[in-house]
Amino acid sequence: MYGRTGRGRGRVIGAAAALLVLVLPACGRTEQGIASAASESAPAATAALPAGPAPVAGNGVVAEPIATTLPVRGDNLRLVRTGADLLAFQFEFVNTGEKPVEPDWVGLDGYTHVIVQLIDLPRGTGYVSALSAEILPWNEFSLNPGLPMISKSAQDSIAPGASATVTVVFHAPPPETTSMLVSMDGFLPVEVPVLPQGSSELRDDPILHVQAQPEDDRRGPVLCAVASAPEATTTESQFRLPADIAFEFGSAALSESVGPALDGLKKQVTAASGTVVVEGHTDSIGTDAANQTLSEQRAAAVRSALEARLGTGFQFTSTGLGESRPIASNTKPDGSDDPNGRAQNRRVEVTITTTKATTATTAAPALDPSVNTVALAKAGLVPKLRSVRALAGFALAQVEITNTGTLDIPLGYLADNHIAFPDDVVADTGGEMSLSDGKGALHNTCELVESWINLVAPSFPSFVPLGGDKLPAGATAVMWALFANPPGDQAVVTIKVGGFADSFSATVGR
């Protein structure tokens, strides 16, 4: 991130607007591997990420840095419930380099934004850090409450080879949530178990004794844009609204958390007419009749909200399908209840069809190399597919990019084309990673509206301490992105990074 530089402390970026929130229905797969295939052109060998000191003793959950030039590592990542309403994310921030570093140099900045998101994958819900209801006594820059709840250690210098415990406080996920994906600026994302209150793995920290503000908008649905195949004459897109964040349990009343998502949908659909089909779905708990009624009521609630936003030029229909069309198993292989599978099945799906000539999409430009004005391969940057993993309703892709030249090269990806960047930053906003599924539909990176940045990295390239948008000569960075998981019958996906001619094929594991 841009830290204490001429651009000011923290990133000089405006607030993110709502993205198009269109997503294909997830297939009924839980976490699996995806076997990767070679690029269409063979890349050069890439350097290993720095190892540094031995991992801090603990649970073994480690977060690697996103670049070989970042002398940091996250050890012993843990999520611990601290009560019915709060959750502590805690880890050991390790300095693997030869000079002192501060955690806030790579996005853990309590003065502006703490770039950490927790994703409850089966429930399609993301969380950003809670805000303090009290003045933080160690924060010399603000005498007001309402700052992100992160420990003072994020501002302290860490000596070479040493580590410090960093704590960030979040509002808690539902009791049945057993793990979450941690997305942290400067590090690769990693899944972390959720431990119960009273766990001995939680270290005491002054931030744990600060009162948090009520939840308000500190969580929201994870939303992913998808466009039709390029040759299609109409644009048909689907939007999956997770029921756990959209409605209270057993209720058909829309929560306030889904408002920004629906507003984003309105902004991206520029056609004056079309069709909108809304389908409600439930899990298998309860009677068939009760689930059918609830699914109809929830579909009608979403239809009404979209009617108010899109206007009378569209034809709207809604229907309830109850528990008849699950996208995940409601039970585990041994026949016991599977809360994570049921969470994926509780959803409302919206299909919007318009003529392609008059409908704006955000996914199509992502696969167009010409959008990125930097000739990346010619400049000496070489991509290589690292991995693609299927998660509960999502797919996580990683691509290594190595600078094989002798000069530092700006990668040019700013991750979010809805952010206002200052004039002195190369505002190349169209070339991040994208995914094409087996039927040619184009997936763009997922977004958590409540977060400051998309679920993609480098979010605002952090390749060196204090931030930097250039990849140094000889260095390797890892780009990653979270996508909607394509349906299960689409075994092969294609990963592409804008600005490169290379594309990578991956076979979805079953």
Spans of the chain, pLDDT less than 70:
1-58, 112, 140-143, 216, 229-232, 264, 267-268, 270, 356-378, 412-432, 449-469, 489, 491, 508-510
Q: How far is the CA of 488 from the CAs of 284, 316, 430, in angstroms?
A: 21, 28, 28
3-state secondary structure 88-126: EEEEEEEECCCCCECHHHHCECCCCCECEEEEECCCCEE
- Cα four-point dihedral sign 186, 191, 197, 201: negative
Domain membership flag for residue 47: no
Token code pair at residue 510: 């079953």
Residue 228 and residue 237 in contact, taking contact as beta carbons nearer than 8 Å: yes
Domain membership flag for residue 33: no
Exposure pattern of 239-262 as b/e (b: 16+ CB <10 Å)? bbbbbbbbbeeeebebeebbbbbb
CATH for 282: 3.30.1330.60
- Both 64 and 205 in one domain: the answer is yes
- Both 228 and 266 in one domain: the answer is yes
The pair phi, psi for residue 236, each rounded to 5°, is: -115, 115
Q: Which of 157, 185, 209 is the last residue of a domain?
A: 209
User: What is the structure's pLDDT at 442?
Assistant: 80
Would you report the helix, strand and coil content of the chain in percent, each value rounded to 5? 15, 35, 50
Token code pair at residue 286: 């309860």
Domain membership flag for residue 159: yes
Domain membership flag for residue 179: yes
CATH for 446: 2.60.40
pLDDT digits (tens, 9 = 90+) for 351-378: 888 876 544 444 333 333 334 444 566 6
Q: How many domains are contained in the chain?
A: 3
Domain membership flag for residue 41: no
Q: 372 exposed, middle or buried (CB, 10 Å; 0-12, 13-18, 19+)? A: buried
User: What is the structure's pLDDT at 81?
Assistant: 97
User: What is the structure's pLDDT at 462?
Assistant: 59
Q: How far is 81 from 173, CA to CA, in rounded Å?
A: 9
- Both 333 and 262 in one domain: the answer is yes
- Both 393 and 460 in one domain: the answer is yes
User: What is the structure's pLDDT at 466?
Assistant: 60
Assign 435 to helix, strand or coil: strand
- Cα four-point dihedral sign 341, 62, 409, 19: positive
- Both 404 and 496 in one domain: the answer is yes
- Cα four-point dihedral sign 60, 65, 69, 71: negative
Q: How far is 389 from 479, CA to CA, in rounded Å?
A: 14
The residues near 175 (Cβ < 8 Å, ≥ 6 apart) are: none
Domain membership flag for residue 444: yes
Radius of gyration for the alpha carbons in the chain, expressed in angstroms and rounded = 22
Q: Which of 209, 239, 265 is the last residue of a domain?
A: 209
- Both 148 and 235 in one domain: the answer is no
Q: How far is 486 from 508, CA to CA, in rounded Å?
A: 9
Assign 370 to helix, strand or coil: helix
- Both 378 and 353 in one domain: the answer is no
Q: How far is 65 from 50, CA to CA, in rounded Å?
A: 8
Domain membership flag for residue 19: no
Domain membership flag for residue 404: yes
- Both 372 and 257 in one domain: the answer is no
- Both 198 and 265 in one domain: the answer is no
Domain span at residue 451 reads 365-508
- Both 158 and 96 in one domain: the answer is yes
User: What is the structure's pLDDT at 357?
Assistant: 54
User: What is the structure's pLDDT at 376?
Assistant: 65
- Both 342 and 456 in one domain: the answer is no
- Both 125 and 162 in one domain: the answer is yes
Q: How far is 335 from 331, CA to CA, in rounded Å?
A: 6
Q: Which of 358, 388, 416 is the last residue of a domain?
A: 358
